[in-house]
Amino acid sequence: ETSSSEDAKEVDVVETYTGICLMDSSDPEDPSEIVKQFIIYNQSDFEGFIDSIPESLPSRTNPPPKNDDKLLEKPKLDFEKNIAIVLLNPDTVSSIPVVLSISEDAETRWIEVEYPAKPIGESFPYGTGTYRIAIIPFSGEKKKTYFDIDAD
């Protein structure tokens, strides 16, 4: 079942982070494919994601401007109480994915997301994209998660 159940409850986002990151193939079955939605359950994996955030912004100027992304400060999250939902949008530096809603019941989580259209003619360095991380409360049990994608 891919649509939320009658007893599903809306989940509040505790905190949101957005920015630019370097994209890497992350699908073990198809190395050319980037996994665009995933969940981080621990600080080690969270810091691994932070390592993909460039210290400088993509720019034609030299030196490039410093990236003021809050995640570069490596915040500590309480992963006993929270999880991080990660949305990636490859091949853009301006079109950031949006979380429209999150709901869950005892066994399943439904996340509705939107990927806004990329600007026509946007230039960006190869392997660069945008991200949104939504921190939500963790019930203590990993749930089957469905991502419902609204694309422009």
Give the pLDDT band of residue 139 (cuts 50, 70, 90).
confident
Q: What does the pLDDT read at residue 30? A: 65
The number of distinct structural domains making up the chain is: 1
Among 15-19, 26-30, 55-59, 148-152, name the one with the lowest average pLDDT. Answer: 26-30
Backbone angles phi, psi at 32, to 5 degrees: -85, -10
Cβ contacts of residue 75 below 8 Å, gap of 6+? none
Give the pLDDT band of residue 2 (cuts 50, 70, 90).
low
Residue 23 domain-assigned (yes or no): yes
Residue 90 domain-assigned (yes or no): yes
Residue 3 domain-assigned (yes or no): no
Residue 1 domain-assigned (yes or no): no
Instruction: State pLDDT tens for residues 22-68.
Output: 987 555 566 667 789 999 999 999 999 999 999 988 877 888 889 99
- Domain hosting 43: range is 9-151
Buried/exposed code over 2-28 (b: 16+ C-beta within 10 A; e: otherwise): eebeeebeebeeeeebbbbbebeeeee
- Other beta carbons less than 10 A from residue 94's beta carbon: 12
Residue 4 domain-assigned (yes or no): no
Instruction: State pLDDT tens for residues 110-119.
Output: 999 999 988 8
Paired tokens of 27: 């699908």
Is the pLDDT at 17 greater than 90? The verdict is yes
Residue 132 domain-assigned (yes or no): yes
Cβ contacts of residue 110 below 8 Å, gap of 6+? 2, 3, 4, 8, 101, 102, 103, 104, 145, 146, 148
